[in-house]
Amino acid sequence: MTGLPRRTSPAQTLARPLRRTLTRTLAATALLAAATGCGARPADPETLPAADSASSPTQDPSVSASPTPAPAETVEPEAEGPAASVPAERTTVGVYFVGDAPSGPRLFREFRSVSAQDPLTEAAALLTSGDVLDPDYRTLFPRGSFGSVRASDGMLVVELADGAWVHRPRGMTREHAELAVQQLLHTLQAVIQARAPMTVLLDGVPSTLLGVPTAGGVTNPDPLEVLALVNVTSPEQGSRLSGSLRATGVASSPEANVPWEIRRGQEVVMTGFATAEGWMDKLYPWQTEEIDVSGLAKGSYTFVASTDDPSDGEGRNEGGGPTTDSKDFTLR
């Protein structure tokens, strides 16, 4: 993996348009938390402008606690699950963990409930602790925690608790260190809903994080170099369903085709496909039609979505096989 930590100049990172954008975004998030209890999915941070862009992030006006899927370039709310009844003092954020893909470890997103009072700190704590819902995911961070996490003057500012994470620990590759830094960057950007660059400080002075320089401000690489090419948003891991379900997620799959299966153990009991709203340059939303599961016996199942078979030589999966993501659920 190359080119993960890209740098911006101090002039870019302190640009007035980004400060205004970040201030408006944080204010809007606070108002949404107070007004709705934050049971909705936030907009997909992958569609926000770059950190040095003067344009404002687009917050999808249809994001709400309703089960209606959102339009293109947003993250759709859940049809069912714990996010539908998040109390007012809580908010739902995307936290990025690491899972395996044919091309190596990549970032997968889970939506989690955190305190609305300090969502940045709580989201970072979930990430560093490896507190995942999906057992297929993990964190690349060693055991420990940050001193503080905040958004300030158009930057995400992370204070190290001590020097333990300044250098790459023994046994961690440079590629894994760079992906861990992107894990943190993507998670914090998902919380504030802005493409802000991130710097890491130790005792108030810019520092490396796991050996990765951050003084100039770490920004986002090509999303297809760090993100899994398919990610299931719903059904959520461990959800309890009945009657029917509508699966949703994001993907970059050849010809925008997203095949899916429902499995009971090793047996495939249903199959189908969804069509994403685009492909090739980034991840796009997809959703299935309503899937009637009323004919299936009660019990435990797994929903599996994948990128299309790359054997035709198209797409970034060529030669490596499809990327998959799965979620276990129970029919009641």
pLDDT digits (tens, 9 = 90+) for 38-73: 445 565 555 454 443 322 232 322 222 222 232 222
pTM of full prediction above 0.85: no
| Residue matched to tokens 């047996």 | 267
Residue for token pair 């992906």: 179
pLDDT at 88: 72
Say how far apart CA 156 and CA 193 lie, in whole Å: 12
Q: Is the pLDDT of residue 246 over 50?
A: yes
In CATH terms, the fold of domain 230-331 is: Immunoglobulin-like (2.60.40)
From residue 271, alpha-carbon distances to 29, 53, 267, 288 in Å are 38, 42, 11, 11
- pLDDT, residue 320, reads 76
Amino acid at 128: T
- Count CB atoms within 10 A of the CB of residue 115: 12
Domains of the chain by residue range: 6-49+74-223, 230-331
Amino acid sitting at position 41? R
pLDDT in tens, 178-234: 999 999 999 999 999 999 999 999 999 999 999 999 999 999 999 999 999 999 999
Distance (Å, whole) CA 330 – CA 332: 6
pLDDT in tens, 169-194: 999 999 999 999 999 999 999 999 99
